[in-house]
Amino acid sequence: MNNLEKYGLTERFKNEATMYPEYQIGRIVAQYRGMYRVATKEGERTAEISGKFRYETNELVQFPTVGDFVMLGDNQSDGVAIINQVLTRKSLFLRKAVGMTGQTQPVAANIDYVFICMSLNQNYNLNRLERYLTVAWDSGATPVVVLTKADLCENLKQAVIDAERVSAYSDVIALSIYDIDVEEKFASYLKCGVTVAFIGSSGVGKSTLINRLLGTDVLVTSEIGKADKGRHTTTGREMFPSPFGGVLIDTPGMRELGADSVDLEKVFDDIEKLACSCRFSDCTHTNEPGCAILQAVKDGTLEQRRVDSYLKLKTEAGYEGLNAKEIENKKLERMFKEVGGMKNARKFAKEKRKRR
């Protein structure tokens, strides 16, 4: 088997790689300051970005990240591979970059499933879960909620019901370190060619869970500290082949997750549907007469907490005051930003059809 196949190489990326015959394809398996570790068909290599790539790149989101398939050349002087091209991503998980106003930072690319890990102690927070879900759906991957440390929860059944209620379309997995069927609970997601990423706050048990799924202690773990808070252990992002097939990506614990890129429609579909029945199309759902959302809260069929979470995320994402059509257009503009917006994207598609 080609070494890259155990790192998730599929026909999609093989075909795109043929556009760059002068380079070798690889996949980024770890990221450090200014350097990368890349898996190739022969084995792993150290790599860095080419000077041309660095000069022509203006935004953090365009830089390579763990999970990216890249095209490599050789540095004749020291044997370090040179990253010349990032292949088209099928999904990208982002978070707000620390200290970089208005910029988002790539966390992991080409992911099929995002496992949102939240421990059932003081870390358990539905608002935080909704935040993770909106960003996960927007990444292009499918989120799965993982409730860890179930042995610390006083009412596990209710916690699972609450998570299922806010996660809408997502699967929910509850587990404890003492469970003997942990591997079985994840077996259906871990298959050849599939990439999964684990995200969540520090100390929720991501590294412990990944060690369990890999069958060996490859990641350092820490015991829970005071007030049920785990100690931060993962400091970088790293990818590991799974014995079940596919690959796993561990990510640093995230205290804050910016909501610059979110998909409100899937996580808050009940609220979005209600908004269509409001008397005014520009209803802010705060004090207007004829607001269907406020009426649902008054009737007891919708939680005020959920409405507050929705409005907060909508504001952070820059969707405040926009209707559903305008939000969709803004998302499309963001998607096609690199080619100059939707207008240029349509022009490009039209010219491509003519050439066929």
pLDDT of 102 strictly over 70: no
Name the phi and psi angles at 2, rounded to 5.
Answer: -55, 130
pLDDT band of 231, cuts 50, 70, 90 = very low
Residues 6+ apart with CB under 8 A from 123: 201, 203, 204, 228, 229, 230
Residues of the chain with CATH 1.10.40.50: 268-321
| CATH label, 3-88, candidates 3.40.50.300, 1.10.287.990, 2.40.50.140, 2.40.30.40 | 2.40.50.140
Is beta strand 171-174 parallel, antiparallel or unpaired with respect to 142-148? Answer: parallel
Percent of the chain as helix, strand, coil, to the nearest 5 = 35, 20, 45
Q: State the residue for tokens 């608002």.
A: 127
Rounded CA gap, 76 and 136, in Å? 40
Helix 156-167 with 126-139: angle, nearest 10 deg: 40
Rounded CA gap, 254 and 243, in Å? 27
**Based on the number of CB atoms within 10 Å of its own CB, is 314 exposed (0-12), middle (13-18) or buried (19 or more)?**
buried
SS3 at position 60:
helix
pLDDT of 312 strictly over 60: yes
Residue that wins the pLDDT comparison between 110 and 170: 110
pLDDT band of 227, cuts 50, 70, 90 = very low
| Residue 219 in tokens | 């990641």
pLDDT (tens digit per residue) in 252-301: 654 445 545 566 777 888 888 898 989 888 888 988 899 999 999 999 99
Instruction: Please give the C-alpha separations between residue 11 and each of 15, 28, 66, 193, in angstroms, as whole numbers.
Output: 6, 17, 19, 10
pLDDT (tens digit per residue) in 337-352: 444 444 555 554 555 4
CA dihedral sign, ordered 74, 78, 79, 84: negative
Nearest to 143 by CA among 153, 135, 151: 135
Question: Percent of the chain beyond pLDDT 70?
Answer: 76
pLDDT (tens digit per residue) in 290-301: 999 999 999 999
Rounded CA gap, 98 and 173, in Å? 31
Fold of 94-250: Rossmann fold (3.40.50)
pLDDT band of 230, cuts 50, 70, 90 = very low
SS3 at position 122:
coil
Helix ranges restricted to H, 39-106: 51-56
Total count of residues recorded for the chain: 356
pLDDT of 328 strictly over 80: no
Fold of 268-321: Ribonucleotide Reductase Protein R1; domain 1 (1.10.40)
Average pLDDT in the chain:
80
Name the phi and psi angles at 17, rounded to 5.
Answer: -65, -25
Which residue type does 293 have? I
Residues of the chain with CATH 3.40.50.300: 94-250
Residues of the chain with CATH 2.40.50.140: 3-88
Rounded CA gap, 198 and 144, in Å? 10
Res 65: pLDDT: 93
